[in-house]
Structure 1
Amino acid sequence: MRQSKAVLAHRNHVPAAFAQSVSLAEHQKAADYTLAKQRLARYETLFQALLLLLFTIGGGLDLLARLSQKWVHYNIAQGIVLIGLFALANLVLGWPMAWYRSFRLEAKFGFNKMTLATFFADQFKGCLLAIIVGLPLLYIVLFLMQTLIEAHWLGGIWWLVVWLVWVIFSLLLMWAFPKWIAPLFNKFEPLKDDVMRTRIESLLQRTGFHSDGIFVMDGSKRSGHGNAYFTGLGKHKRIVFFDTLLKDMQISEVEAVLAHELGHFAHKHVFKQMIVTFILALIVFAALGWLLPQSGFYLGLGVHEPSHAMALLLFMLVLPVFTFPFSPLASVLSRKNEFEADRFAAKYANANDLIQALTKLYRANAASLVSDIWYSRFYDSHPGARERIAALQADTKAD
């Protein structure tokens, strides 16, 4: 609500830093788009809170547990069916919001390019992928929980073994994602522009970065938003540009955007984030290990059918409620990383080109140039537009 109030208050005035590069009409479109997203976000928050209450103290998880016990009799199979039923119910209940976001909100502002066929094809592929990839992992986790807990000498550290399995699985998934998973949803073609490819390869050599290729993704298949990212692990890292990003960018601006992304790797932001994620996951699994035998953990959340699978599901379901207060810390660290990556880009490319590229991205994505300070501190993973541009201009003057 604070963010909406701040955006609305500045709707009719383009910030001075962007007066020459963003028109009033573009600024007002960004404001209206931001207000619409904030409105939907409030409804989504209330809807997710309602679902959480229905699944827990409302008896939803108990109902799913009784159904799984009725259909199968093997403990691990019951757990798999329970979690599968929950995932399916959560998916179906979330469809109306997902449909509205794409086919009403995004379409209203000219961003949605997705058809209903693509929407449901994505849903089907996601479910199939969850079965092929997630089902074996879930079976291994439940098997280890049951086996290790029954083996008293290992029962107290079952969570450590499961955490190790999860870490290995996560690394394998990161390694496999660019080559086998991402192409299920989008087409990736090698960059064909020889001049741009030569410029990018020169930048890669200057920064000492090695990749498995430079690709263009058909992002316009689903959305008008533009972006660029790195994916993969080790020697299988790929540079990916959305086709919507390349459409309106000069070669020097694309180079500056890429230099920013390279800055994340140069400062080891990706590696540090991965390590932090693994450490936090270890703490989470240890907490689950402590809660597993506590009857109050289940009864206090309205569950009367305890099991290993129920403990896993219930814990992951309520965990975001308790980690939410730490969001500002994650946001602060993320914004710090973005500033470092910007400074790296200013060093190996051109700060003015990055400013121009960011301005084009703000315009193309209808990103708000105004943000409430407290909202930004709590939620924003990237610095505000004015703050970010000011920092880059300071770097330019310093040079």
Structure 2
Amino acid sequence: MHDTLAAAHPLTLLFAFALVASLTLKLWLAGRQVRHVARHRAAVPAAFAETVSLAQHQKAADYTVAKLRLGLLATAFSSAVLLGWTLLGGLDALNGLLRETVQPLLGDLGYQLALLAAFALIGGLLDLPFDLYSTFRVEQRFGFNRMTVRLWLADAAKGLLLALLLGGPLAAAVLWIMGSTGGLWWLWAWCAWTGFQLLMLVLYPTVIAPLFNRFQPLPDESLKARVQALMQRCGFAAKGLFVMDGSRRSGHANAYFTGLGAAKRVVFFDTLLNRLTPDEVEAVLAHELGHFKHRHVQKRMVVIFGFSLAALALLGWLSAQPWFYAALGVAPNLDAPNDALALLMFGLVLPVFSTFVTPLASRSSRRHEFQADAFACAQADGRDLARALLKLHEDNAGTLTPDPLYARFYYSHPPAAERLAALPRPA
């Protein structure tokens, strides 16, 4: 009867249609990107002919194609796994097993936490081959990987420990809220989740990040003086300027702001400082300060918090509907809470539908990048920013010839040609 209901309910058909449509769209866009990049591999675009060598251009093309091909396999596999968890009964079977074995021993809360943990562990194991192949084959092949197996295992162990120490209490708190605060549980759960996210913004730079990387005060006094003068002009205060040993794990370069309030800090990858001149570092930092000046981070946080509130409100209604479970291949519990089950099902289904709003988020992000670039040109030399971006594209092997439609759908940063066209031409 359960299978018949799942096959007949409109939500089953809607989910199946959305899953097939999102998978088809992702594969089609990735295929376009592969073909477009491969088709333009033989020649450097005219706009970059004087600044990018053919060898660099071809390396970027090959790197892009290699990542996309692995991504195609990962996307198809994850869609199959999602189908297995839902309509093919995988989550239902896992839930039944733990309900029979764990609930009598650990009670309702223990059983629900075990369900969340088992699901996360199985999901991590299923994703493991792709992560390993990406790190030790694709990144290694193109000279970006600096990680050893020992370091990878240490990072994995630390990540698992953090998940238990931080995620476990959060999950327990949300489950308690769902079972104890009535019909408006979703509002209180949102408050708990939002508070946790804000707490992580404070704890991450000072407690969590140092578990994985070494952070040292910026040693170059002249560069430090330039950076501090720039931040003072822009009205930005940070707790410190730090250099991170990004080269321990990767050859990619970056710089970023992190933290909240008094915990804000500026972090430079050592690979970035080794590659760019002081003028170019200042221009890159000016770009990051542009995000601060335009309040891009705060705006994104408001959007994320608003979306999460709407999502939890929807889950608050769906979790009380028996058909929500049955239509997605899961029999709701009759003698145990359904809260963990509802969280998992919603977490599985929501990304399928959110695929179709990806272009909106990408467009907003690209607009923010143009605004930050314009701010950087007002605070530093735009030609330095252009030179820095060219070097970063080279170091990160970013393709100069993306498929326009793929870029519009996915790119959070403007394609290199569009971005550099808006900047003064480097000498």
TM range (shorter): over 0.9
- Structure 1 equivalent of residue 341 of structure 2: 310
Which amino acid letter does the alignment assign opposite residue 100 of structure 1?
Y
Contact kept? 1:2, 1:372, Cα under 8 Å: yes
Q: CA deviation at 1:363?
A: 0.6
Q: CA deviation at 1:66?
A: 2.3
Secondary structure class of the residue paired with 1:163: helix
Q: CA deviation at 1:5?
A: 1.3
Q: Does 1:29 align with 2:59?
A: yes
CA displacement 1:87-123 (0-9 Å, x = unmatched): 0111111111000000000100010111111111111
- Structure 1 equivalent of residue 13 of structure 2: none
Q: Does 1:367 align with 2:393?
A: no
Which amino acid letter does the alignment assign opposite residue 187 of structure 1?
R
Q: Does 1:255 align with 2:282?
A: yes
Q: Does 1:84 align with 2:117?
A: yes
- Structure 2 equivalent of residue 146 of structure 1: 179
Listed as ranges, the matches of 1:53-132 within 5 Å are 53-69=83-99, 70-73=101-104, 74-132=107-165
Q: Does 1:12 align with 2:17?
A: no
- Structure 1 equivalent of residue 18 of structure 2: none
Q: Distance in 1 between matches of 2:205 and 2:166?
A: 15
Contact kept? 1:352, 1:393, Cα under 8 Å: yes
Q: Distance in 2 between matches of 1:305 and 1:60?
A: 14
Q: Does 1:323 align with 2:344?
A: no
CA displacement 1:299-330 (0-9 Å, x = unmatched): 11111144111001110111100111000000
Contact kept? 1:256, 1:351, Cα under 8 Å: yes
Q: Does 1:230 align with 2:257?
A: yes
Secondary structure class of the residue paired with 1:239: strand
- Structure 2 equivalent of residue 152 of structure 1: none
Query: TM-score normalised to the size of structure 2?
Result: 0.90
Alpha-carbon RMSD across the aligned residues, in angstroms, is: 1.1
Match of 2:415 among 362, 381, 384: 384
Which runs of no fewer than 5 residues in structure 1 stay unpaired? 149-154
Q: Does 1:245 align with 2:275?
A: no
Q: CA deviation at 1:55?
A: 1.3
Q: Distance in 1 between matches of 2:150 and 2:89?
A: 34
Contact kept? 1:226, 1:361, Cα under 8 Å: yes
Q: Percent of pairs identical after alignment? A: 52
Which runs of no fewer than 5 residues in structure 2 stay unpaired? 1-30
Match of 2:224 among 197, 211, 215: 197
Q: Distance in 2 between matches of 1:118 and 1:303?
A: 39
- Structure 1 equivalent of residue 305 of structure 2: 278
Q: CA deviation at 1:231?
A: 0.5
Secondary structure class of the residue paired with 1:216: strand
- Structure 1 equivalent of residue 10 of structure 2: none
Which amino acid letter does the alignment assign opposite residue 365 of structure 1?
N
Q: CA deviation at 1:8?
A: 1.1
- Structure 1 equivalent of residue 385 of structure 2: 354
Contact kept? 1:65, 1:305, Cα under 8 Å: no
- Structure 1 equivalent of residue 80 of structure 2: 50
